[in-house]
């Protein structure tokens, strides 16, 4: 039984009831009762594998892909886009978008250049395409060559140029940079001084890439409602949605 089939219908009109149609009242929200939510006997633990979706799991476990909503509601997942682990391919793409090759910094240049245009350092011919503007920083990708202080950069679209003698710097912002330091046993974060002054036997340096992987993996453990109790949840859903 599909999710939206369970919602009651209502008459909807945009012209003061001159005309209208019956639509599903999809704005109602259902929260499982504590009796169902906290009863561990009803559930088994499952680790989401790469490529699993609620529909794939529902087909595998309940022989009905349309019951993917049962998996979502029993895990209190409101938005699978952010509460369901990404595939490895999706995670790699997300990492590339979040951490482009460099952050090119120069005071007050972000207001003058456009996202998508290429900036070129005149003396070296080095170029990079602007991916985003963050404060006074230009987040760039497709870096060709190296940037350094002492020359102008020019935009191929805006035509704006600025001198980098006093304020220009290139900051690596790659996924392999260190995000934080932590104890391996409990994950307690420590500062760089503690890390550098210790023997590091029980400490680790976590890169930005590894941080994203860990955040993604933290979403993998879910509860699967045992097949024999699915009708209990459907009945509870219907009761709430029609009350």
CB 135: neighbour CB atoms within 10 A?
9
Instruction: Specify whether the CB–CB gap between 223 and 46 falls below 8 A.
Output: yes
Rounded Cα–Cα distance for residues 122 and 109 (Å): 16
Above 80 in pLDDT, residue 150?
no
Provide the CA 1 distance to its chain's centre, in angstroms: 29
Indicate if the pLDDT at residue 228 is higher than 90: yes
Assess whether pLDDT exceeds 60 at residue 43.
Answer: yes
CA distances from 209 to 86, 132, 133, 137, 215 (A): 14, 20, 22, 22, 10
- What pLDDT shows up at residue 130? 83
Confidence grade of residue 8 (pLDDT, cut at 50, 70, 90): very low
Distance CA 50, CA 141 (A): 28
- Identify the residue with better confidence: 127 or 11: 127
Q: What is the mean pLDDT of residues 173-197?
A: 88
Query: How many Cβ atoms sit within 10 Å of the Cβ of residue 95?
Result: 18
- Kindly report the number of other CB atoms within 10 A of residue 13's CB atom: 10
Long-range contacts of 54-63 (CB under 8 A, 24+ apart): 54/80, 54/84, 57/224, 61/224, 61/227, 62/227, 62/230
Least trusted range by pLDDT, from 10-14, 211-215, 234-238? 10-14
Task: State pTM to two decimals.
Answer: 0.65
Provide the terminal-to-terminal Cα distance of the chain, rounded to the nearest Å. 19
Instruction: Return the bridge partners of 161, or none.
Output: 154
Q: Enter the DSSP assignment of 87.
A: P
More confident residue, 48 or 121: 48
């Amino acid at each position: 039984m599909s999710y939206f089939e369970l919602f009651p219908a209502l008459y909807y009109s945009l012209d003061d009831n001159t005309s209208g149609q019956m639509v599903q009242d999809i704005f109602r929200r259902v929260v499982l009762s504590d009796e169902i939510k906290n009863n561990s006997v009803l559930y088994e633990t499952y680790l989401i594998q790469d490529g699993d979706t609620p529909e794939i799991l529902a087909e595998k476990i309940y022989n009905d892909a349309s019951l993917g909503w049962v998996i979502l509601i029993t895990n209190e997942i409101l938005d699978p886009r952010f509460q369901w682990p990404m595939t490895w391919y999706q995670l790699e793409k997300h990492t590339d978008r979040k951490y482009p090759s460099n952050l090119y910094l120069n005071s007050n240049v972000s207001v003058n250049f456009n996202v998508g245009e290429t900036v070129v350092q005149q003396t070296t011919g080095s170029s990079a395409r602007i991916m985003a503007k963050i404060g006074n920083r230009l987040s760039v990708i497709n870096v060709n060559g190296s940037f350094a202080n002492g020359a102008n950069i020019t935009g191929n679209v805006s035509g704006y140029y600025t001198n980098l003698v006093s304020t220009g710097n290139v900051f690596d912002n790659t996924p392999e940079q260190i995000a934080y330091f932590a104890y391996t046993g409990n994950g307690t974060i420590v500062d760089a001084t503690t890390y550098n002054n210790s023997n590091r036997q029980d400490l680790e340096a976590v890169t930005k890439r590894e941080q994203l992987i860990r955040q993604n993996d933290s979403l993998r453990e879910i509860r699967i409602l045992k097949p024999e109790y699915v009708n209990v949840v459907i009945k509870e859903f219907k009761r709430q949605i029609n009350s």
